[in-house]
Amino acid sequence: MFFLRLDSEKWMVLLYSEGEFWKNRRMEYEVLKNINQIIERDSKDTTYKFALLRATIEVIQEKSPYQEFKDNRVILPTGLLILKWLEYYYPIIEKELPQRNGDNLDSFTLSFRSLFKEVTNFYKLRGGLSVFYSDLVRGNLPDDIEDTVFQLCKKLRDTIKDQPMRYIGKSVNNTEYSIYKREKTTIQLRQPDKMDVNFLIENFTRFSIPRDYFNVMELMGSFITGMHSILINWAEFTVDKDRSLSMNKVLETMLKSPQEARNVLLSEKIFKKLKMENGTLECVWTGSQITNDLNIDHVLPFSVWRNNDLWNLLPAKENVNNSKRDKIPSLELLDKRKDRIISYWQVIQEIEQAGFVKEMNVNLITRQDFNQHNWENLAFDSLKEKSQYLIETRGFEAFNL
* Average pLDDT, integer, range 220-232: 73
pLDDT at position 98 over 90: no
Q: Would the pLDDT of 230 be above 60?
A: yes
1 assigned to some structural domain: no
Residue 88 has pLDDT above 60, yes or no: yes
372 and 229 belong to one structural domain: no
Whether 43 has a pLDDT exceeding 70, the answer reads no
Q: How confident is the model at residue 297 (pLDDT cuts 50, 70, 90)?
A: very high
Same domain, 104 and 122: yes
Shared domain for 72 and 173, answered yes or no, is yes
Closest CA to 180 of 153, 214, 219, 207: 207
pLDDT score for 295: 95
Count of Cβ atoms closer than 10 Å to residue 341 Cβ = 21
Q: Is 197 a member of any domain?
A: yes
Same domain, 250 and 271: no
- Sheet of 206-210: strand order equals 68-70, 73-77, 206-210, 181-182
Number of structural domains (the chain) is 2
Does 2 map to a domain? no
Query: In the prediction, which pLDDT does 3 show?
Result: 40
Q: In Å, how far from its chain's centre is CA 34?
A: 23
| Separation between Cα atoms, residue 328 and residue 352, nearest integer Å | 26
Instruction: Give the residue from 229, 254, 279 where a domain finishes.
Output: 254
Listed residues 225, 254, 283: the one ending a domain:
254
Assess whether 209 and 284 both reside in one domain: no
Alpha helices in 279-374 (DSSP H): 302-305, 318-324, 331-336, 338-351, 353-363, 367-370
> Would you give the DSSP letter of residue 311?
G
User: Which residue range(s) make up the domain with 315?
Assistant: 261-399
Computed over every residue of the chain, the mean pLDDT equals 87
| Same domain membership, residue 283 and residue 193 | no
29 lies in some domain: yes
Within 10 A of 23 (CB to CB), how many other CB atoms are there?
A: 10
Q: Which amino acid is at 52?
A: L
Residue 203 lies in a domain: yes
CA–CA distance, 239 with 237 (Å, rounded to integer): 6
pLDDT band at 107 (very low <50, low <70, confident <90, very high): very low
Residue 4 lies in a domain: no
Domain assignment of residue 3, yes or no: no
pLDDT digits (tens, 9 = 90+) for 257-281: 776 667 899 999 999 999 999 999 9
Q: How confident is the model at residue 224 (pLDDT cuts 50, 70, 90)?
A: confident
The answer to whether residues 178 and 201 belong to one domain is: yes
Query: Same domain, yes or no, for 195 and 293?
Result: no
pLDDT at residue 2 is higher than 80:
no
Domain endpoint, select from 234, 254, 274: 254
**pLDDT tens, position by position, 319-343:** 999 999 999 999 999 999 999 999 9
Q: What is the pLDDT of residue 5?
A: 45
Give residues with Cβ within 8 angstroms of 154, minimum separation 6: 189, 204
Q: Is residue 278 part of a domain?
A: yes
Convert the pLDDT of each residue in 110-134 to its tens digit.
889 999 999 999 999 999 999 999 9
pLDDT value of residue 102? 58
Q: 158 and 192 share a domain?
A: yes
- pLDDT tens for 4-32 read 444 555 545 544 555 554 456 677 778 87
pLDDT of residue 41: 65
Res 259: pLDDT: 64
Question: What confidence tens digit (pLDDT) does each residue in 156-192 have?
Answer: 999 999 999 999 988 888 899 999 999 988 888 898 9
Residues 230, 314 within the same domain? no
Same domain for 56 and 179, yes or no, is yes
Of 371 and 39, the structure prediction assigns the larger pLDDT to: 371
Q: Are residues 39 and 163 in the same domain?
A: yes
- Report the percent of the chain where pLDDT is more than 70: 88
Q: Taking residues 123-147, report their average pLDDT.
A: 95
